[in-house]
């Protein structure tokens, strides 16, 4: 007798998986290797930035009190007592009607409180000394970049779980973080099962197909921020698969297999989980594609039995495996980011299961618009190439018309959702 499976709602399935989430671990990497990694601790400002008042323009540092009377009709002269560039500090004390010629980035002389831009001063020599004159007054603070205006010591700069981007690299360098605490990349094991599978360099032969899931899932694992440990392809043979799965699990943080989870005569994953005495969290989800997605846990480690059908495999990974990876990368929003979009085409046929339609999300007049990126069937590969989102069409008795609002899950986003279900 063929086993009858009871589908559970997607949200419940995700919740069951999340009960087995693992904590992330920290490792330190040199700043030059931290781009694209996920911060594992909140980082604070180790100093004020800048840590001294400085000139934001090339010009003359002056005491504003001396500029008070300057105007178009009353030119005021200053003796220029020093000349400094960025990185230099004056040793001169600046007295009444004295100025320092100062370049952008240089520390302000202690007594000065404004900078006159070079263009607004007239420099000249008199009796072998340097002078400059101005025709307007200045307020204290004019053209000064103040200590701490960029950041104050002790400020929280960025929260853990953030993906390090070029701007964050600049921030880290500014505060002297040479070694960065980042999340250790979870190691995700991967096996593709299927006697029909050829590898990418094999020529086609009758009845066999090239294994595309391995390359797809490996890239999805990397996109999620983890490291893939690819174990290869397995034929649909119970003992071979059983030994392989059992041995692989010990070497990784979680294991993904593709194929062999349905009710077919050569679908061995359910029996493998049983023999291992792994606890099956679910083996049927009320979703399309990916209804046969099966997740089990063995000694606290998750086994993702993703469907062999490429689109089902893809969606199963994004909904169930990705959040576990993102949790291990310290994310507080580990699920795919959910937004609202306008549906571009009719989906008039109702489906009892919630559909995740591989979609191309575009922005039109400031509004997100979702269009299917190809044929909406679980055995289809081509629709995946143009997919940057999954459109959610809730299961039920009604279809969806073009122009209606739908929820979309964004695939190329790093912010995520706390809980989109
Ligand atoms: N009687 C039933 N038959 C099926 C059911 C069902 O409920 N009752 N479910 C269908 C659904 S839905 C799906 S999805 C598939 C799931 O199949 P499996 O996860 O068991 O996967 P396989 O049987 O191994 O393969 C299915 C399909 O995918 C191709 N495949 C497998 N691996 C790869 C790979 N690495 N790269 C590319 N393509 C792959 C494989 O050749 C098959 O065509 O079951 C339905 N059947
Ligand atoms: O598991 Mo299937 O993907 O619903 O066609
Ligand atoms: Mg099958």
pLDDT tens per residue across span 381-410: 999 999 999 999 999 999 999 999 999 999
For residue range 85-104, list pLDDT tens digits in order: 999 999 999 999 999 999 99
Instruction: Tell me the best of 284, 285, 288, 376 to mutate to test the pocket of ligand 2, counting ligand atoms within 8 Å of each CB and taking the most.
Output: 288
Q: Is the CB of 284 under 6 A from ligand 2?
A: no
* CA–CA separation, 360 and 279 (whole Å): 37
> Is the bond into 50 cis (omega within 30 degrees of 0)?
yes
Cα of 123 vs centre of ligand 2, distance in Å, is 79
Per-chain residues with Cβ under 5 A from ion ligand 3: 262, 264, 267
**How remote is the CA of residue 288 from the centroid of ligand 2, in Å?**
5
Q: What is the pLDDT of residue 249?
A: 97
To the question of pTM greater than 0.90 for the whole model, the response is yes
pLDDT of residue 2: 74
The stretch 286-309 carries a mean pLDDT of 97
Percent of the chain with pLDDT over 90: 98
Over residues 17-22, the mean pLDDT reads: 97
Q: What residue owns the CA closest to ligand 1's atom 1?
A: 263
pLDDT in tens, 227-255: 999 999 999 999 999 999 999 999 999 99
* Ligand 1 pocket mutation, candidates 292, 319, 382, criterion most atoms within 8 A of CB: 292
* Superfamily of segment(s) 10-23+185-328: MoaB/Mog-like domain (3.40.980.10)
Q: Which atom of ligand 2 is nearest to the CA of 311?
A: 3
How far apart are the CA of 211 and the centre of ligand 3, in A? 15
Q: How many residues does the chain have?
A: 421
CB atoms within 10 A of CB 9: 15
261 Cα to the center of ligand 2, angstroms: 11
Domain 337-410: give its CATH architecture.
Answer: Beta Barrel (2.40)
**What are the pLDDT digits (tens) for 41-95?**
999 999 999 999 999 999 999 999 999 999 999 999 999 999 999 999 999 999 9
Q: How many CA atoms lie within 13 A of 30 on its CB side?
A: 2
Q: Is the pLDDT of residue 1 over 80?
A: no
Any atom of ligand 2 within 6 Å of the Cβ of 354: no
Domain 59-134 top-level CATH class: mainly beta
Residue ranges covered by each domain of the chain: 10-23+185-328, 27-48+149-183, 59-134, 337-410
CATH class, range 27-48+149-183: alpha beta
Q: What is the mean pLDDT of residues 134-139?
A: 98
Q: Which ligand is nearest to the CA of 308?
A: 1
pLDDT band at 206 (very low <50, low <70, confident <90, very high): very high
CB of 309 sitting under 6 A from ligand 2: yes
- The rounded Å distance from CA 260 to ligand 2 centre is 12
Does the structure's ipTM exceed the value 0.90? yes
**Confidence (pLDDT) at 29:** 98
Query: Which atom of ligand 2 lies closest to the CA of 288?
Result: 4
CB-ligand 2 contact for 67 (6 Å cutoff): no
Q: What is d(CA 301, CA 320) in angstroms, rounded to the nearest whole number?
A: 14
Closest by Cα among 188, 201, 338 to 258: 188
Q: Which residues of 326-346 are buried (b: 16+ CB within 10 A; e: fewer)?
A: bbbbbbebbbbbbbebbbbee
Q: For the chain, what is the mean pLDDT?
A: 97
């Amino acid at each position: 007798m063929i086993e009858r499976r009871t589908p559970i709602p997607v949200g419940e399935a995700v919740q069951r998986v999340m009960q087995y989430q693992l904590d992330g671990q920290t490792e330190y990497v040199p700043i030059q290797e931290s781009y694209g990694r996920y911060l594992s601790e909140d980082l604070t400002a180790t100093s004020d930035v800048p840590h001294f008042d400085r000139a934001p323009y090339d010009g003359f540092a002056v005491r504003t009190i001396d500029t008070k009377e300057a105007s178009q009709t009353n030119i005021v002269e200053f003796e220029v007592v020093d000349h400094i560039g960025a990185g230099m500090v004056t040793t001169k004390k600046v007295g009444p009607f004295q100025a320092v010629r100062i370049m952008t980035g240089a520390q302000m002389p202690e007594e000065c409180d404004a900078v006159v831009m070079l263009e607004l001063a007239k420099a000249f020599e008199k009796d072998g000394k340097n002078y400059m004159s101005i025709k307007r007054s200045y307020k204290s603070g004019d053209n000064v970049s103040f200590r701490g205006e960029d950041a104050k010591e002790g400020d929280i700069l960025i929260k853990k779980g953030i993906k390090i981007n070029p701007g964050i690299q600049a921030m880290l360098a500014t505060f002297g973080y040479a070694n960065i605490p980042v999340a250790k990349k979870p190691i995700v094991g991967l096996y593709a099962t299927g006697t029909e599978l050829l590898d990418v360099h094999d020529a086609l032969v009758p009845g066999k197909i090239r294994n595309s899931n391995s390359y797809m899932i490996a890239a999805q694992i990397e996109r999620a921020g983890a490291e893939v440990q690819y174990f290869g392809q397995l034929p649909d043979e119970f003992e071979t698969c059983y030994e392989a799965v059992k041995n692989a699990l010990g070497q990784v943080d979680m294991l993904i297999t593709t194929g062999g989870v349905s009710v077919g005569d050569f679908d061995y994953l359910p029996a493998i989980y049983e023999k291992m005495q792994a606890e099956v969290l679910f083996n049927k989800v009320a979703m399309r594609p990916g209804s046969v997605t099966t997740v089990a846990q063995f000694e606290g480690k998750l086994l993702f039995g993703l469907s062999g059908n490429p689109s089902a495999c893809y969606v199963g990974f994004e909904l169930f495996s990705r959040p576990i990876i993102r949790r291990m990368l310290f994310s507080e929003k580990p699920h795919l980011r959910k937004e609202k979009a306008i549906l571009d085409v009719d989906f008039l046929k109702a489906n009892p299961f919630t559909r995740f339609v591989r979609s191309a999300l575009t922005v039109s007049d400031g509004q997100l618009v979702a269009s299917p990126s190809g044929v909406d069937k679980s055995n289809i590969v081509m629709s995946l190439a143009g997919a940057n989102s999954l459109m959610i069409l809730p299961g039920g008795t009604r279809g969806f018309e073009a122009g209606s609002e739908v929820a979309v899950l964004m695939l190329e986003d790093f912010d995520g959702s706390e809980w989109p279900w």
